[in-house]
């Protein structure tokens, strides 16, 4: 390259840099006039809830802010992995975080999300189920506005099962006796869904996994009873062939294909069956998540998203306002209408939108949420969940008649996990 050509190239480059800098400066200067841009990182919802509520809230702000959704994958583990990499690096490009109920302790403890205060705090918790508020709180502070919640019901085939079972043992007996579709669909792949199932069973048996952020509870007798249920199902003819790789979607597909008379799954399963397999859909019955102990009411799983404001946002003031709007009554109704997501406000369960989305079982969903057994709240939640998944998976290794050794292993692994010791 001749010197002159090099010089020209350098000049071009310099001009380009100057022009871009000038544009950036202009962009920075327009902050006062135009709406503030807020980025909302949240799991994608196929029905379009997120786009809809973002648009509505931006409009309602009358030019104060504009919410741009950034979608995360559908899988909870992958959502978290993307978020924590950004938050761990103090990324200012996140303003509002759609936070799964299990991340609160971790995100709050790490200082990634801001506590809510004053009037807005009161506004976003109004009429919300108390245990859902718990999932958005850590050490007495509220870190997120409850948006949607979720719970699992027992879905069964009315044409094959005259009366829904009360307990897991009863359900396994019934399934084993059926000549066709004698299987039970659950979520037992080694992923967060397995933790959801195991936690619900242990809670239903009468003991929480943790009693504090760093204290393992896990009372022996009830835990062994819950483990026996997992082992019994996994080693029974009532287990689908791919039990140890099943998730919410494979469970739904198996049920819709007519392979199973029973399924525990979230509320989306109903609308899905009506649309994808109307023949099965019209025979679809629903009941509360089965009990482990016949004498103790079950504690169904609790899921859902809460909306938090990132500590690294440059627009915290408007972000709180926007998050409050994204989580308000109207937004929750949009979520139930477009994506079938249960509202976190208990007063909405008699609303026409909700009773239309959950024909005949809106009350059951409400009751199930009220009686739910949430997963433990701890900054080390990831370690606790990994420890449970590692110890109990694949589920068929649990001998239903001898659960003592697996109980000891679970307890000692959990004790390491809350202290975040050892490999997982």
Q: How far is the CB of 391 from other proteins (least distance, A)?
A: 11
Binder to other proteins among 109, 131, 274, 355 (CB under 8 A)?
109
Q: How far is the CB of 89 from other proteins (least distance, A)?
A: 9
Which tokens sit at 345? 């406000």
Tell me: does residue 95 bind other proteins (CB under 8 A). no
- Count other C-beta atoms under 10 Å from residue 91's C-beta: 16
Q: Are strands 145-157 and 262-266 parallel, antiparallel or unpaired?
A: antiparallel
Cα(first)–Cα(last) distance of the chain, in Å?
56
Candidate ranges 285-293, 313-321, 340-348, 389-397; the one touching other proteins (CB under 8 A): 389-397
Tell me: does residue 110 bind other proteins (CB under 8 A). yes
Phi-psi region of 255 (alpha: psi -120 to 50; beta: other; left: phi over 0): alpha
Q: How far is the CB of 379 from other proteins (least distance, A)?
A: 5
Contact 336, 357 (CB under 8 A): yes
Tell me, letter by letter, the H, E, C secondary structure of 291-341.
Answer: ECCCCCCCCCCEEEEEEEEECCCCCHHHHHHHHHHHCCHHHHHHHHHHHCC
Report the residue number, 90 or 127, with the smaller CB distance to other proteins. Answer: 90
Cα(183)–Cα(56) distance, rounded to whole angstroms?
44
Tell me: does residue 393 bind other proteins (CB under 8 A). yes
Tell me: does residue 253 bind other proteins (CB under 8 A). yes
Cα(227)–Cα(320) distance, rounded to whole angstroms?
42
Q: How far is the CB of 136 from other proteins (least distance, A)?
A: 18
Q: How far is the CB of 131 from other proteins (least distance, A)?
A: 24
Binder to other proteins among 115, 213, 371, 394 (CB under 8 A)?
394
Report the residue number, 105 or 304, with the smaller CB distance to other proteins. Answer: 105
19, containing H or E segment? helix 3-29
Candidate ranges 24-32, 185-193, 196-204, 403-411; the one touching other proteins (CB under 8 A): 185-193
Which tokens sit at 51? 């786009």
Binder to other proteins among 141, 191, 235, 411 (CB under 8 A)?
191
Nearest to 145 by CA among 157, 158, 135: 135
Binder to other proteins among 77, 131, 235, 274 (CB under 8 A)?
77
DSSP 59-118: HHTTTSEEEEEEEE-SSHHHHHHHHHHHHHTT-TT--EEEEETTSHHHHHHTT-BPPP-H
Q: Are strands 145-157 and 284-287 parallel, antiparallel or unpaired?
A: antiparallel
Report the residue number, 22 or 422, with the smaller CB distance to other proteins. Answer: 422
Stated length of the chain: 424
Q: How far is the CB of 318 from other proteins (least distance, A)?
A: 26
Binding residues among 362-381 for other proteins as defined by CB under 8 A = 379-380
Report the residue number, 79 or 368, with the smaller CB distance to other proteins. Answer: 79
Binder to other proteins among 44, 51, 64, 84 (CB under 8 A)?
84
Binder to other proteins among 34, 48, 88, 297 (CB under 8 A)?
88
Q: How far is the CB of 200 from other proteins (least distance, A)?
A: 20
Q: Are strands 284-287 and 184-185 parallel, antiparallel or unpaired?
A: unpaired
Contact 362, 70 (CB under 8 A): no
Site string for other proteins, 229-248 (x = CB under 8 A): ------------xxxxx---
Nearest to 35 by CA among 75, 74, 66: 66
Tell me: does residue 356 bind other proteins (CB under 8 A). no
Tell me: does residue 186 bind other proteins (CB under 8 A). no
Tell me: does residue 92 bind other proteins (CB under 8 A). no
Q: How many residues bind other proteins (CB under 8 A)?
A: 33
Residue with tokens 């409400």: 366
Tell me: does residue 26 bind other proteins (CB under 8 A). no
Tell me: does residue 85 bind other proteins (CB under 8 A). yes
Which positions touch other proteins (CB under 8 A)? 77, 81, 84-85, 88, 106, 109-111, 189-191, 241-245, 250, 253-254, 379-380, 382-383, 386, 390, 393-394, 420-424
């Amino acid at each position: 390259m001749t010197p002159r050509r090099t010089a020209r190239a350098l000049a071009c480059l310099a001009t380009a840099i100057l022009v871009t800098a000038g544009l950036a400066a202009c962009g920075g200067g327009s902050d006062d006039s135009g709406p503030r841009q807020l980025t909302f990182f949240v799991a994608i919802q196929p029905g379009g809830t997120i786009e809809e509520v973002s648009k509505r809230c931006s409009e309602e702000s009358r030019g104060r802010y504009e919410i741009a959704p950034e979608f995360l994958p559908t899988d909870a583990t992958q959502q978290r992995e993307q978020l924590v990499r950004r938050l761990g690096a103090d990324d200012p490009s996140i303003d509002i975080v759609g936070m799964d109920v299990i991340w609160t302790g971790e995100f709050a403890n790490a200082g990634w999300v801001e506590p809510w205060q004053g009037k807005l705090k009161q506004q976003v918790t109004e009429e919300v189920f108390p245990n859902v508020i718990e999932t958005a709180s850590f050490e007495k502070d509220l870190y997120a506005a409850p948006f949607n919640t979720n719970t699992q019901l027992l879905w069964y085939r009315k044409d094959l099962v005259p009366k829904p079972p009360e307990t897991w043992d009863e359900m396994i007996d019934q399934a084993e006796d059926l000549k066709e579709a004698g299987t039970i669909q659950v979520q037992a792949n080694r992923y967060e869904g397995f933790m959801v199932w195991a936690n619900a069973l242990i809670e239903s048996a009468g003991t929480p996994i943790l009693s504090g952020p760093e204290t393992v509870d896990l009372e022996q007798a009830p835990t062994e009873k819950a483990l026996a249920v997992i082992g019994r199902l996994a080693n029974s003819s009532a287990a689908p062939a791919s039990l140890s790789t099943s998730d919410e979607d494979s469970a739904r597909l198996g049920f819709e294909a007519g392979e199973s008379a029973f399924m525990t799954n979230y509320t989306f399963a109903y609308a899905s069956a009506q649309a994808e397999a109307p023949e099965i859909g019209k025979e679809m019955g629903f009941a509360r998540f089965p009990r482990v102990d016949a004498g103790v009411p079950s504690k169904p799983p609790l899921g859902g998203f809460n909306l938090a404001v990132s500590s690294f946002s440059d627009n915290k003031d408007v972000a709180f306002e926007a998050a409050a709007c994204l989580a308000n009554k109207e937004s929750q109704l949009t979520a139930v209408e477009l994506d079938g997501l249960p509202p976190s406000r208990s007063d909405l369960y008699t609303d026409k939108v909700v009773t239309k989305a959950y024909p005949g079982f809106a009350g059951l969903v409400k009751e199930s949420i009220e009686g739910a057994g949430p997963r433990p709240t701890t900054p080390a939640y990831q370690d606790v969940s990994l420890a449970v998944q590692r110890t109990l998976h694949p589920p068929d290794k649990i001998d239903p008649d001898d659960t003592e050794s697996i109980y000891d292993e679970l307890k000692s692994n959990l004790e390491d996990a809350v202290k975040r010791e050892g490999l997982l």
